[in-house]
């Protein structure tokens, strides 16, 4: 039994790949987009509130340390009464 044409038979796999790339129609380039979910937007808002809250806490700390923080005993008593009436 004889086997003829052992070796390359004018087949170049790289040439086929190159031809495929050439034949492709240049598509319209898609632009990158970023979409922020509603949950992420809420978290961003919460971060803003957290900063504002932290600033308020720092301001109160300074007032307490300086001795300039004053309390309204009537307002405290009123909120305590409201709290216990709800329970």
Q: How far is CA 61 from CA 68, 74, 83, in A?
A: 10, 22, 25
Angle at CA of residue 24, ends 19 and 27, nearest 5°:
155
Tokens 């300074």 — which residue? 62
At 15-73, the pLDDT tens digits run 666 666 566 656 667 788 888 899 888 888 888 888 889 999 999 999 999 999 998 99
pLDDT digits (tens, 9 = 90+) for 51-62: 889 999 999 999
């Amino acid at each position: 039994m004889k086997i003829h044409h052992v070796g390359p038979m004018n087949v170049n796999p790289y040439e086929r790949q190159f031809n495929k790339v050439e034949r492709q129609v240049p598509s319209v380039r898609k632009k990158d987009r970023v979409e922020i979910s509603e949950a992420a937007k809420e978290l961003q808002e919460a971060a803003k509130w957290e900063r504002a809250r932290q600033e308020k806490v720092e301001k109160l700390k300074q007032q307490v340390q300086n001795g300039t923080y004053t309390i309204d005993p009537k307002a405290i008593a009123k909120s305590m009464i409201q709290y216990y009436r709800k329970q």
